[in-house]
Structure 1
Amino acid sequence: MLDDAGAREMPDDLSELPDDAAPGEDADGVQALVVPDPLVVLDVPGLLAEHLRTAAPDTAVRDPLAAGHTIRRGQDYSVRVTAALSVHRAALDLCRELGAEGASPAGRKAYRVYADRLATTSTTA
């Protein structure tokens, strides 16, 4: 029974795929299940949105931000952005300097609020 499945021909180190397996496929040629990056709706604080509009080097972050809806919140605003979870993580990485020690208190709070929203979404998604 093991000979029919080819179990005796398996390498000792199972962390590497056999040479005949293509990426995304296992050794039997069966397509592996790929989990898609889920779309997430998050409110980006206005201070971070302004920073991303000027500092984001690629359009992967700027395009969803431009398509977002502005929401007034007291004296400030947020931008409701629908994007893949990886895009939100990239946006948070681009805003890292606003959450640094030398940044303004408003920048640190905006960064912390967005990071908390992203962490909450990441655990539930």
Structure 2
Amino acid sequence: MLDAAGARDAVDVLEELDGMATDVEEQAPEPEQPHTIDVPGLLAEHLKATEVSEIPEALRGGRTIRRGQGYSVRVTAPLALHQATLGQCAALAGDGSTLAGRKAYRTYADRIAAAMGKE
């Protein structure tokens, strides 16, 4: 009766599906490793008002470190988030910005580039 209904063939189909499930799991990309990078305080202040919700969340989760007259926020996040953060601060590096803003932007960009070189 099982042969007539084709139920024995279902075992072969199930084995094929099991093999396909493993292939899909192997193709899933690995999550990006987080990197700890210090965000200059001037940039952190600018980023508090950003519309990208992940950036202020990452800053709130960071640790504030006093440095002379200023401070930095030590943020642990994937490099993609650090790069998005840097993109949000591009206005501070443009013409008409202050020397401190351009230096903060350049410092953060250098830190991200150094982290990318370590990968």
TM-score in terms of structure 2 length: 0.76
Aligned to 1:102: 96
Gaps of 5+ in 2: 1-18
Q: Deviations over 1:5-46 (max 9, x none)?
A: xxxxxxxxxxxxxxxxxxxxxxx9523251321101000000
Report the RMSD for the aligned CA atoms in angstroms: 1.4
Aligned to 1:74: 68
Q: Which stretch shifts more, 77-86 or 109-118?
A: 77-86
SS of 1:89's equivalent in the other structure is helix
State the structure with bigger RCO (CA 8 A, min sep 6), 1 or 2.
Answer: 2
**2:33 pairs with 1:38:** yes
Aligned to 2:6: none
Residue 71 (structure 1) shift: 0.4
SS of 1:58's equivalent in the other structure is coil
Aligned to 2:80: 86
Aligned to 1:22: none
Gaps of 5+ in 1: 1-27
Distance in 2 separating the partners of 1:107 and 1:58: 20
Q: Which structure has the bigger radius of gyration? A: 2
**2:114 pairs with 1:120:** yes
Q: Give the residue type in structure 2 aligned to 1:124.
A: K
Residue 58 (structure 1) shift: 2.3
Structure 1 moving runs of 4+ over 6 Å: none
TM-score in terms of structure 1 length: 0.73
Distance in 1 separating the partners of 2:51 and 2:60: 14
Q: Give the residue type in structure 2 aligned to 1:75.
A: Q
Query: Going by fraction, where is helix more abundant, 1 or 2?
Result: 2
